[in-house]
Structure 1
C-alpha cells in the first residue's frame, strides 16, 4: 500500500530509480533455466509492475512470447514527422556508427544509437520492486499485455510472458550466447506469440479492413480474380466481393511496411509459434488472417500493383488522396519480405502437422540466409544467429560440421560473416555462394574479404539463378577444390579460366543528366560487336547484334521461359519505338505551352538505333524495313485509340529483374557481351571458375591476387561452352 501511494505521487518516471533503486539480474540457477515475466495488474495503466522469475524450461508454466521491435515501431512517414524533427535527425546522424572507421565492429556500435530511433531505454517499469529502464515501444507492449485487446480478450491471458529484452541479461555475454542459442526452443514451448506492431495510426483501420475482407474469400476463388481486376474491378465478377477501395490497399501498404516486418528475429518467432496474434494499438487480428491475405496477394500477383509509385497515378487517388497524400510520395510497396516470412511459417507448419517423424525437416540454413537477406537487425551478427534455430541440423552445413556457427557475441561482425561464408563454402563444396556477394559500392562492413557476403545489407539485385528455371553451368562439370587452410586466413583459392578482359562498359541510369545517355551507351556497345558473334560451342546459331543485345539484357529469359521465345524480340522492337517517342518528345514543354525547347537533346549521346537496325541483314526480323512497318502500324493504332503498351510491362519486368539500373552492360576484347556488377570497369577480367554456375568479374591486384566484384551473365558461355576453347587452367587467390 505504501509503495502504491508513493508511486501515485511520482509524476516523472525517470526519477523512480532514486526512490527504489535499479534492478540487478541474479545469475540463472542452471543452463537449462529461463526467466519468465509476470505482469501485475495496476490501477494506474501508466505504471507497469512485474516480476522476473527463473524456471527450468522443461517444467516452466504456460507462457506467451512477445514479438516486437526494439526501436520505433511506427511507419517512418507518420504525421508526427516534421521539419524540425527531420533537422534533428540530420544533426544526430553524425553520431551514427561509421563502419569505415572501425576494423572491429561489435555490439556497442549498434546499441549506442541516437535517441530519435526509439532504441534508447528512457522509460521506467517496476520489476521485482526495482526500477528497470525499457524502450518506449516495449513499455507500450507491456501495457498492452497487462490490458488485453480483442480477440485476445476471449482467451484467458497467461500469467507469464517471455520478452527477450527483459528475460535475458543483455549485459552478460555468456548468458546472452546461451539464451540466444535456445530461443528456438523457447518459442516452440510458448503457448502462443503476441506480435506487437506498435500504436495504431491513421492508416490502421483501412489496413485491417483489407485483411478481414480478403481472409473471407475462399481460396478456390482466387484463380477467378484476374490480374488486371485490381484496376478494373467491374470486369471481375468475384473481385466485387472484396469491396476494397484504393484507400484500403494503401492502408495495408502502410501496415506491412512497419519495421516489425523487416526484423530478422521475427522469422523464427513466427515460424515456430503454435499460434499468433497481431496487435496494433487497441486492435488485434489472428495471424492466420494476415497469412491468408499475403497468400492471396501472392497468388493473384497483386503485389505488382501494390506500390505507391504506381498507385499515385490512379485518377481517383489523384483527385482524393485523403490521409494518404504523404504516403503516396513515399515509394513504399508490398515487397517479397512479408511474403517470404509467411511462406517460411507455412512450410514449417505443414511439416509439423505431417507427424513427428518429419518434425525436424526445417529449411536448410543456406536457404534461410538467402531468402531472408532483406531482414534487418540492430546487431548485424544476428543476420546469421537469428536463423540458426530454424535450420535443419541434418543438412549442410551442420551435417558435416555439427558445431559450426554457435552464437558468440564476443566475435566481431567480420569474424561471424567470414566464418559463415567459410562453413557454407566447404560444406556445399561449390562456389554458388559468391553470387550472393553484393556490389562493392554497397558494402558497409569494412575489411571483409571480397568473397564474403555482407549480410548486414540487402542484396540488390538478387542472384541470377533466381531469374527463372534455367540451371546455368558455366563451368560445366568442373569441380572446385577448396583450400581449407587458406579460407581460415581469409583467402579463397579457386581454379578456373580467364575468359576475357572487359574493354567497354555502359552508362547506368542516373549517371548522366541526359535521360537517353544510358541507352545510347548500350547501343554503342552493340554496334561495337564484331560478327559473327563468338561461338565456342560451334552451334549453328548466328545471331545478329540486336538479338544478342536483347537476349543479354533479359539474361535470355522471358516469363520464366529459357531461352526466351523469339516473340520477345518483337516486343523489344516495340520497346525501342516507345523509347524513341519518349526521348523525341522530351524536349517539348508540357508545363507552359506546347513549344519546343531551343536545344533538344545532345545528339552526341542520342541512341543510334537507326544505325544498329540498318546493320541487320534484310532477312532479319529486326531490319530497318520491318522497324518502319511496325512504326506505321503503331502510329495508326494510336490514332484509332486501339494501341496499348501493356504487353511491354512483362518485358520491362524482365529488364528490371535481370539487373535494370543495378547491373552494367559490358563488352570484352574478344567480342562477348554481358552484364555484371555496377562497379566493374575497363580492365576487369571475366572468369569461369570451377564449381560455379555463372561467370564472375574479378579485379586483378598488384600482388597477383584478385578481388571479387560479382557475378555476370555472358551470352554464349553459360552452359560449359568454354570447355571447347582450350583455355589454360589457372589457380588464383581471391582476397
Structure 2
C-alpha cells in the first residue's frame, strides 16, 4: 500500500469497475459519443472485449478494422486525453438463494431476466425499506451480475468477491420470510404473517426501550433464519464496511444485533441467556453468529484450513462451494494453489487437501477426514481428503472437544509426505505407531429422540455397557478400576476441572459416582441438561458431556484389553494407530493399495503419550489412500 494511503478508503479502481470493464471498453473508445454504436466516423481505433481479472481478453473484436472495411477514406480523430473510469457508489445484496426454479420474471436494464422467488422478495423488501436517497442507486446481486452457467466467468467473479463486497458502500442482508411464528410478550403472543413490504428504517435502534422483550426476542428469532447457516454469506458479511439487516418489516444495524448478541450482553442479561436456550436452532444460529464475528474481526487473512473448519456447520447447495464460497477470505497463494472454479468435487477437494499437506497442516486436516465423515454419493474421494459437506452431521472432533488438548503422540514430530505428485494421487505417507486391533465393536447408528429433541442416550449406553461387561467377564480388561474407566470413557476424560471448566459447568470429581447418579436420572427420564442458561450441577454436567462425546460413535474393545469410542463405521479387524504429531489415535483399515483412514478415536489409557513409552512399537510409515 503506498505511503499515506488510508486503508479504510475504497480502492481507486472499485470492484464494480472491474465487473463492468468489458462494457466500458466497448463504449468509451469514441471521442464524441459515450454510447457509440461503431458507426460514428469519430470513433478511434479500438477493440471491443471483456477484460478478465487475470488480464486476458475474451470475445475480442477489432472494431477499427470493421469500421474501416465499410468506410474507406473516412477521417479518424484521435483522443488526446486519457480516459478516466470512476465506478459509481453501489450497495450489495446478501440473501439466501433458496430452491429453484428460476421462473420469476424481472425487468433489468430494460431486459427480461429470470430468477428465483427469494431474489424477488429480497429486492422488494430492499425497495420498500428505504426512502429515496437512503440507499445507493446501484445494487449488486450475484444472481443477476454473474452468468451462473459460464464457469469461466463465474471463476473470474468469485475471485473478485473480495473487492465487490469490500467496495460496496453498504451490504444489505435480507434475512428472509417469517410466517406464522409467535413471539411471547408478557401475557400475550404476537403472531406474524409474511412480510412483503417493510416498516420504518431503523425502527428498532431508534426505540427508547431497547430492553423491551420484543426487541431482544426478535433478535434471537432472526438467528433461526436460514441465512445464518449458509456458506456464501460468510465472506459477504466479513468483508462489509457497513451492514443493514432486513427482518420482520424493519431495518436494523450491526450495532443493534451486537448490543443483544455480544458475549458481554449475554453475560449481563439472564433473560437473553434463557431465550437462547429455548431451541437448538436458535443456539446453532447464535454459535454461527459468533463465528461470523470472529472472522470479521480477525486481523488479516485467516488460515484457509482454520477458516473452513471453523465454518464446518455452514451449508451449500453445490459441494464445491464449501471451498469457493470462502475464496475472498483466503490468501492469494492459497487461492492460486486451489485453482479455477470447477464442478469436479474430487479435483477441488483433493487440491485443497494437498495444499494443506504442503503447508504442514496435515494432522489438523485429518480431524475432518476419514470414512466416518462422508456424505457425497457417487463421489470417489481418498480417505485422507475431507468431505467438507459432511462435517456438520458427523460426530464431534475429538481433538477439539475440550480446551486442553490430548497428547497421544507426546512431543513426537509429524512426518508426512505426498505420494506420486504434488496433489497426492498416490496418497499420503504418514509415520505412526501401530497400537492395537479392534476385537469387538458395538454400534448404535440411530436412536429415538427424547422429549428434549436429543438422541436417547440410554440406547447408546445399554449397548456399550453390555459390550464392556463382557470384556470384564472374560478377564481381558487392562484397567485396575473398571467402573471408573467406563465412566471416564463416556466423558472422553473431560471432567470440567482446571482449564477444561466452562462458566456453566460443575467439576466432576468422582466420575464413577457421578456416572451412577446420571444413569439413574436418565432411567427416570429426569432433566437431561436443558437447564435454560442456569449453572449445571455435577450430574447435569456429566449428562451434557456424555451426550457430546459418545452419541454418534461406536464402542470398541481391543485385542489387548483397551476400550474406546470409535467411528460409527469401524469394523472388527481395523487397527488403532497413533500418527506422530497427532493428539488423538485414529482407526485405519488395511486394503491392497495401503490403508483407509476410518476416523479419529478415543482409547482410554492411550491418550497421553503412553504408546511412546512402549519399546515394542517402532515407528512405521503407512500410506493413506
TM-score tier, shorter chain, comes to: 0.7 to 0.9
Secondary structure in 1 aligned to 2:463?
Answer: helix
Counterpart for residue 45 of structure 2: none
Secondary structure in 1 aligned to 2:596?
Answer: strand
Say whether residues 1:454 and 2:454 are aligned partners.
Answer: no
Counterpart for residue 471 of structure 1: 405
For residues 224-281 of structure 1, give each alpha carbon's deviation from its aligned partner in whole angstroms, at most 9, with x where no partner exists.
xxxxxxxxxxxxxxxx995538x984x6665322221111111111111111111136
Kindly report which structure 2 residues correspond to 1:522-561, keeping only aligned pairs within 5 A, or say none: 522-527=464-469, 528-529=471-472, 534=478, 543-559=480-496, 561=498
User: Which of 219, 241, 244 pairs up with 2:213?
Assistant: 244
Q: Residue 663 of structure 1: CA displacement?
A: 1.4
Kindly report which structure 2 residues correspond to 1:659-698, keeping only aligned pairs within 5 A, or say none: 660-698=550-588
Say whether residues 1:367 and 2:367 are aligned partners.
Answer: no
Greater RCO (CA < 8 Å, at least 6 residues apart)? 1
Distance 1:213 1:649 in 2: 41
Q: Residue 673 of structure 1: CA displacement?
A: 1.3
Say whether residues 1:731 and 2:604 are aligned partners.
Answer: no
Counterpart for residue 15 of structure 2: none
Q: Residue 69 of structure 1: CA displacement?
A: 1.2
Flag the 1:175–1:442 CA change in 2: closer, same or farther, 3 A.
closer
Distance 1:214 1:137 in 2: 24
Flag the 1:259–1:464 CA change in 2: closer, same or farther, 3 A.
same
For residues 608-664 of structure 1, give each alpha carbon's deviation from its aligned partner in whole angstroms, at most 9, with x where no partner exists.
xxxxxxxxxxxxxxxxxxxxxxxxxxxxxxxxxxxx995422111111221x32111
Distance 2:374 2:511 in 1: 32
Gaps of 5+ in 1: 1-25, 34-55, 72-116, 219-239, 312-330, 352-360, 535-541, 584-643
Say whether residues 1:494 and 2:430 are aligned partners.
Answer: yes
Query: Retained in 1: the 8 A contact 2:370–2:386?
Result: yes
Flag the 1:520–1:259 CA change in 2: closer, same or farther, 3 A.
closer
Distance 1:124 1:281 in 2: 25
For residues 294-313 of structure 1, give each alpha carbon's deviation from its aligned partner in whole angstroms, at most 9, with x where no partner exists.
22576479898558xx85xx
TM-score (norm 1): 0.62
Flag the 1:472–1:214 CA change in 2: closer, same or farther, 3 A.
farther
Q: Residue 120 of structure 1: CA displacement?
A: 1.3
Q: Which moved more, 1:179-188 or 1:556-565?
A: 556-565
Gaps of 5+ in 2: 1-47, 56-82, 191-201, 450-455, 501-506, 527-534
Say whether residues 1:657 and 2:548 are aligned partners.
Answer: yes
Q: Residue 580 of structure 1: CA displacement?
A: 5.0
Secondary structure in 2 aligned to 1:482?
Answer: strand
Query: Retained in 2: the 8 A contact 1:531–1:544?
Result: no
Secondary structure in 1 aligned to 2:336?
Answer: coil
Kindly report which structure 2 residues correspond to 1:150-165, keeping only aligned pairs within 5 A, or say none: 152-153=130-131, 156-165=134-143
For residues 462-485 of structure 1, give each alpha carbon's deviation from its aligned partner in whole angstroms, at most 9, with x where no partner exists.
311222222223123132231352
Say whether residues 1:339 and 2:339 are aligned partners.
Answer: no
Counterpart for residue 403 of structure 1: 336
Say whether residues 1:424 and 2:356 are aligned partners.
Answer: yes
Distance 1:32 1:704 in 2: 40
For residues 59-104 of structure 1, give each alpha carbon's deviation from its aligned partner in whole angstroms, at most 9, with x where no partner exists.
3111100001111xxxxxxxxxxxxxxxxxxxxxxxxxxxxxxxxx
Distance 1:187 1:392 in 2: 16
Distance 1:480 1:298 in 2: 44
TM-score (norm 2): 0.72
Number of residue pairs aligned between Structure 1 and Structure 2: 509
Flag the 1:339–1:290 CA change in 2: closer, same or farther, 3 A.
farther
Flag the 1:532–1:507 CA change in 2: closer, same or farther, 3 A.
closer
Distance 1:303 1:553 in 2: 31
Q: Residue 372 of structure 1: CA displacement?
A: 0.7
Say whether residues 1:266 and 2:233 are aligned partners.
Answer: yes
Distance 1:381 1:160 in 2: 30
Secondary structure in 2 aligned to 1:428?
Answer: coil
Secondary structure in 1 aligned to 2:282?
Answer: coil
Flag the 1:341–1:386 CA change in 2: closer, same or farther, 3 A.
farther
Distance 2:443 2:272 in 1: 30
For residues 689-718 of structure 1, give each alpha carbon's deviation from its aligned partner in whole angstroms, at most 9, with x where no partner exists.
1232211011222x1522111100111212
Query: Retained in 1: the 8 A contact 2:399–2:406?
Result: yes
Query: Retained in 2: the 8 A contact 1:369–1:384?
Result: yes
RMSD of aligned Cα (Å):
3.9
Q: Residue 344 of structure 1: CA displacement?
A: 3.4
Query: Retained in 2: the 8 A contact 1:556–1:562?
Result: no
Flag the 1:560–1:424 CA change in 2: closer, same or farther, 3 A.
farther
Q: Residue 27 of structure 1: CA displacement?
A: 6.4
Tell me which protein shows more helix as a share of its residues: 1
Secondary structure in 2 aligned to 1:368?
Answer: helix
Distance 1:301 1:681 in 2: 47
Flag the 1:154–1:691 CA change in 2: closer, same or farther, 3 A.
farther
Query: Retained in 2: the 8 A contact 1:432–1:693?
Result: no
